[in-house]
Structure 1
């Protein structure tokens, strides 16, 4: 059983955010408010601690056995740049993992495409370092909406057109989040990982962080990555592979962090859980789409879109 649910379509819109930090409301007050009315305070009122705790993973849990030479995962209290992405789909509350990626606007987060592709995704919000005990330690950052009312998410157009198997090599998505309830942008509050594209498939050490559905806290593990080339003609391409124990549903979108610095809690993001069979078929081996020129182009499109270009 694959780690993800299949969803149908996605769209992206552009909006300009400008001005100094923190961002003031249109009335000149210090209250941050998105132009379409989906503000941080409204996101906090909607995503109560109880609703967040009851959210299910976008992906169902997957049984499996421990992989050979796997890194041993452990639950921990998390790091500020990684959190849960909450989304309402079809009347249900769901979540994936997401992380802040450095951008000129200080307002982009990165996850897997299959996490944010739902045709009826609404009330989408990012919560850095979420745990059940401390559900909003750094506030809540709502994913902005475009003029069409859809969340501002950038996904390679091949992914909704060809589906998660044929387009598994581009299973990544960027989303623009608005300021928190105090008016601060996410990167200024928690920092950011640096996006790296065009690197090798093989890294001597990668920190893998995700939010398992089975845990009240996130999970971390480190191990080397290897190159995996699919022999399934229905899922073509090459992917990063890492053996780390205990990454079931909910961990999709979790970052692969190379050169991770425990002092700053940041690193170079070279992948996210997703791609081959949308992240893997057992919880002890995870995959990522290769971050090459396609992901770089997608990032540049998101940066331009977030600026209103």
Structure 2
């Protein structure tokens, strides 16, 4: 594996980091459509990663009025404990925009404006995961998401997690048994996740779900994923 981008803790708050959350579309409301996204460690401290199919399709184009809510939890009195961040720009692979069946390219970066209750870059408030690419297709992954098919607790209300060992599947990654349905798309697959710090390295995102057997798939990150992240510096 190429030397990864290291994760970063938030600007002084008590661990663990709260870098995962919901990416809402068409404004912030509990009944609007959403995906899962997570904050990355970048120089701008303002980038989240999600699945490309969450933010672009050929029929409708780019999503409108998207906002990111880290640590979203509707089971609590305050479902957005650190506030809401609006979206400044979105970046995907050209190959995804040309062919939405190319799930090996199902990755997107969303650059946020300063925001939240403190009007700061999001990683300054909640921390940011590292990014890793290359290496074996087999690794222990901690996967987070907001799957609408989950109950007890309701997956649309609070985050769910699943720990599995990944497998290779037609050049992509897959896990069995998580059964993360709609809403979990874009959620991070974390390598070397540390429960105490709440940090790890994103090595894939949830891309596909097969309801018949609960299998989830995600793209295998190559150096192109890191190159696209570097390009967000100008967004």
State if a TM-score over 0.5 links the two structures. Answer: yes
Gaps (5+ residues) in structure 2? 1-10
The partner residue of 2:71 within 129, 134, 155 is 129
The partner residue of 2:136 within 169, 189, 200 is 200
RMSD of Structure 2 on Structure 1 (CA): 1.9
Q: Which has the higher helix share?
A: 1
Name the residue aligned to 1:140: 84
1:219 equivalent in alignment to 2:160: yes
Name the residue aligned to 1:248: 181
Name the residue aligned to 2:225: 295
CA distances 1:76-123 after superposition (whole Å, capped 9, x unpaired):
xx961100000129xx93100000011001000000000011525221
Conservation of the 8 A alpha-carbon contact between 2:72 and 2:79? yes
Larger Rg: 1 or 2?
Answer: 1
User: Structure 1 pair 142/281, CA: closer, same or farther in 2 (3 Å)?
Assistant: same
Q: How many aligned positions are there?
A: 205
Conservation of the 8 A alpha-carbon contact between 2:17 and 2:197? no
Name the residue aligned to 1:96: 35
Name the residue aligned to 2:202: 269
Runs (4+) of structure 1 exceeding 6 A deviation are none
Conservation of the 8 A alpha-carbon contact between 1:211 and 1:219? yes
Gaps (5+ residues) in structure 1? 1-20, 22-77, 145-151, 230-237
CA distances 1:191-232 after superposition (whole Å, capped 9, x unpaired):
0100111122110x2101000124221110101111111xxx
SS in 2 for 1:143: strand
TM-score using structure 2 length: 0.82
TM-score using structure 1 length: 0.63
